[in-house]
């Protein structure tokens, strides 16, 4: 049985960070950003992840995407949710947004190779949520979907495939390995990677 109060607390914290303080939206859409971390939390809950992993999934973008006036940091998450949750969130966070896109993504792939299984679960659910949405949008709207991203389609999908490969190499028995492989196959079959 999940500790609902801790999960509710994580939801409230993520809603404040993404919705209340900045009305953050999904790229190129009039859809509240909070739908993404909640989806990540649901994916993790459905596979039977621990409460801490579910909380980390819900909170996974709070450090990276918080505004300067209400900046979220490791210590804040550690105080409210414990060291394990804070560490998982920090693991999946791109800490230097000033770097060029390609360098950030290269570092992110390298970092995955050192993740604990719990951090791999959070990253896996994040990739599944994002990639499923991007592929759906691409099927509906075509190339224009990528006009809202910092990299073109080919580089975007190339990065996603590298992350999936790094996750699966680090933990082949990952409970969502099948879904990651399915999404990778969908990219390879339906989109030409240059």
Rounded distance between C-alpha atoms, residue 133 and residue 22, angstroms: 22
Rounded distance between C-alpha atoms, residue 117 and residue 12, angstroms: 26
Q: Any catalytic annotation for residue 65?
A: yes
Q: Which residue has the tokens 């550690």?
A: 78
Q: Which residues contact 143 (CB under 8 A, 6 or more apart)?
A: 153
The one catalytic residue among 51, 52, 65, 126: 65
Q: Which residue has the tokens 């699966």?
A: 168
Angle (CA) 194 132 153, round 5°: 25
Name the DSSP class of 31.
S
The one catalytic residue among 64, 84, 94, 158: 64
Q: Any catalytic annotation for residue 103?
A: no
Angle (CA) 173 60 45, round 5°: 50
Name the DSSP class of 176.
T
Rounded distance between C-alpha atoms, residue 126 and residue 65, angstroms: 14
Give the active site residues: 64-65
């Amino acid at each position: 049985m999940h500790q609902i109060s801790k999960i509710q607390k994580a939801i409230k914290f993520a809603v404040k960070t993404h919705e209340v303080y900045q009305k953050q939206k999904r790229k190129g859409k009039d859809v509240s950003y909070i739908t993404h971390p909640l989806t990540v939390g649901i994916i993790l809950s459905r596979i039977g992840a621990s409460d801490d992993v579910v909380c980390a999934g819900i909170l996974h973008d709070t450090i990276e995407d918080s505004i300067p006036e209400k900046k979220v940091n490791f210590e804040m998450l550690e105080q409210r949710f414990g060291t394990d949750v804070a560490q998982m969130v920090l693991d999946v966070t791109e800490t230097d947004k000033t770097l060029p896109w390609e360098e950030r993504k290269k570092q992110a792939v390298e970092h995955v190779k050192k993740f604990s299984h719990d951090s791999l679960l959070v990253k896996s659910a994040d990739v599944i949520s994002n990639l499923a949405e991007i592929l759906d949008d691409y099927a509906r709207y075509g190339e224009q979907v990528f006009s809202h991203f910092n990299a073109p389609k080919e580089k975007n999908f190339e990065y996603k495939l590298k992350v999936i490969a790094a996750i699966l190499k680090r933990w082949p028995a990952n409970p969502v390995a099948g879904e990651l492989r399915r999404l990778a196959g969908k990219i390879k079959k339906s989109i030409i990677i240059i």
